[in-house]
Amino acid sequence: MAMKSLSFLAVLSLLALTLPLVISSDPSPVQDFCIGVNTPANGVFVNGKFCKDPKVATADDFFFSGLHNARPVTNAVGSNVTAVNVNNLPGLNTLGISLVRIDYGVNGQNPPHTHPRATEILVLQEGTLLVGFVSSNGDGNRLFTKTLSKGDAFVFPEGLIHFQFNVGRSPAVAFAALSSQNPGVVTIANTVFGSNPPINPNVLSRAFQLDPRVVMDLQNKF
């Protein structure tokens, strides 16, 4: 009897250890593929998308073209992110992976942000980038940073605030893979100062130890 109890406890312990691994990323598919479509006609809803009948799938469902082309950089932060995810490459549905191309102008950056559903690995194709992420409160908010040259790679753990900044004298290009078909993005400045409706300035002035007028000025910028 004691042996059976120990075995039962061992199974429970193993489940406790493995369950977080199972639920920490996109659900595993139960078929070869599930082409995402936006209409329920003859489809089954799986992981945020309706599935196309696999019998009518084609190679185009798994194809995206044009990532070799430079993107214009015209915004205030000096970067342009081209996402390849389930929304524009439907064959990614249920496969738990996506891709981005990032073009950086001189002094451009991909500002501090998080991906709530994905770990990211970035490879620098051209230029020089200062990259980094900040650990959680429980780890003391430590900054992990590195200057990347062409061919270097860096990993940003899921959910942690991270950034890239072009410290070179010419434009830079990077590609990154993310461990979700739809990783999501939360840009810190836009979220805090550009929410709709705005967060009460008194909340932010206390949080950031700023005069409420400074907070309102920042909110007006976003």
- What would the pLDDT profile of 52-107 be if each residue is shown by its tens digit? 888 889 999 999 999 999 999 999 999 999 999 999 999 998 899 999 999 999 99
Side-chain half-sphere exposure of 132, counting CA atoms within 13 A: 12
Return phi, psi of residue 56, to 5°: -110, 15
Report pLDDT for 31.
59
Measured distance CA(204)–CA(222) in Å, rounded: 14
pLDDT digits (tens, 9 = 90+) for 120-145: 999 999 999 999 999 999 999 999 99
158 is in an annotated binding site: no
Return phi, psi of residue 123, to 5°: -120, 130
Predicted model pTM: 0.81
Measured distance CA(37)–CA(15) in Å, rounded: 35
Residue 48: pLDDT band (50, 70, 90) is low
- Residues written for the chain: 222
* 43-57 residues labelled b (16+ CB within 10 A) or e (exposed): beebbebbbbeeeeb
Measured distance CA(108)–CA(104) in Å, rounded: 5
Mean pLDDT of 24-50: 63
110 is in an annotated binding site: yes
**Structural element, H or E, at residue 203:** helix 201-208
pLDDT digits (tens, 9 = 90+) for 156-167: 999 999 999 999
120 is in an annotated binding site: yes
Report pLDDT for 77.
97
Report pLDDT for 15.
44
68 is in an annotated binding site: no
Measured distance CA(3)–CA(20) in Å, rounded: 27
